[in-house]
Amino acid sequence: MPNTPVLQVSRKAPDIYVWGLKGNWIIGSSLPTVEDAFDRMQASNKLDRIEFDCTGLKGWDSQFLSFLIKLIKQCDYRGITMDTEGLPSGVKGMLDLAKAIPERQDIGTRNEPQRGLFNAIGRYSLDIYVDFLNLATFLGDTTLAFLKFCMGRARFRQEDLWRLIQDSGPSALPIISLISLLVGMILAFVGAVQLKLFGAQIFIADLVGLGMAREMGAMMTAILMAGRTGAAYAAELGSMTVNDEIDALRTSGFSPMEFLVIPRIVALVVTIPLLCLYSDILGMIGGALVAQGLFDISFSEFYIQLQNRIRPIDFEVGIVKCTVFGALVAIAGCMRGLQSKRSASAVGLATTSAVVTGIIFIVVSDAVMTLLVTSLNLFKR
Q: Is the model's pLDDT at 268 over the cut of 90?
A: yes
- Sign of the torsion formed by the C-alpha atoms of 65, 69, 74 and 78: positive
Distant-in-sequence contacts of 37-40, Cβ < 8 A, 24+ apart = 37/7, 37/9, 37/71, 38/74, 40/9
Q: Is the model's pLDDT at 179 over the cut of 90?
A: yes
How does residue 280 score in pLDDT terms, banded at 50, 70 and 90? very high
Supply the pLDDT for residue 45: 54
**56 phi and psi angles, rounded to 5 deg:** -95, 5
Supply the pLDDT for residue 357: 92
Supply the pLDDT for residue 165: 92
Integer angstrom CA distances of residue 74 from 68, 71, 197, 273, 351: 10, 5, 74, 61, 37
Name residue 24's beta-bridge partners: 59
Give the percent of the chain with pLDDT over 90. Answer: 29
Supply the pLDDT for residue 8: 77
Q: Is the model's pLDDT at 166 over the cut of 80?
A: yes
Supply the pLDDT for residue 102: 59
Supply the pLDDT for residue 190: 85
Burial per residue of 27-45, b for 16 or more beta-carbon CB atoms within 10 angstroms, e otherwise: eebebbebeebbeeeeeee
The candidate with the shortest Cα–Cα distance to 50, out of 93, 22, 87, 98, is: 87
- Encode pLDDT of 287-336 as tens digits: 999 888 888 788 888 888 888 888 888 899 999 999 999 999 999 999 99
Supply the pLDDT for residue 114: 53
292, 298 Cβ separation under 8 angstroms:
yes
Supply the pLDDT for residue 131: 86
When pLDDT is averaged across residues 82-90 and rounded to a whole number, the result is 77
* Lowest-confidence segment of 46-50, 104-108, 259-263 by average pLDDT: 104-108
How does residue 255 score in pLDDT terms, banded at 50, 70 and 90? confident
Q: Is 59 helix (H, G, I), strand (E, B) or coil?
A: strand
Q: Is the model's pLDDT at 107 over the cut of 70?
A: no
Supply the pLDDT for residue 325: 94
Quick one: fold of 6-100?
Transcription Regulator spoIIAA (3.30.750)
pTM of structure? 0.70
Look over the chain and give the mean of its residue pLDDT values, rounded to a whole number: 83
Q: Is the model's pLDDT at 62 over the cut of 70?
A: yes
Domain extents in the chain: 6-100, 132-376
The candidate with the shortest Cα–Cα distance to 178, out of 285, 273, 274, is: 285
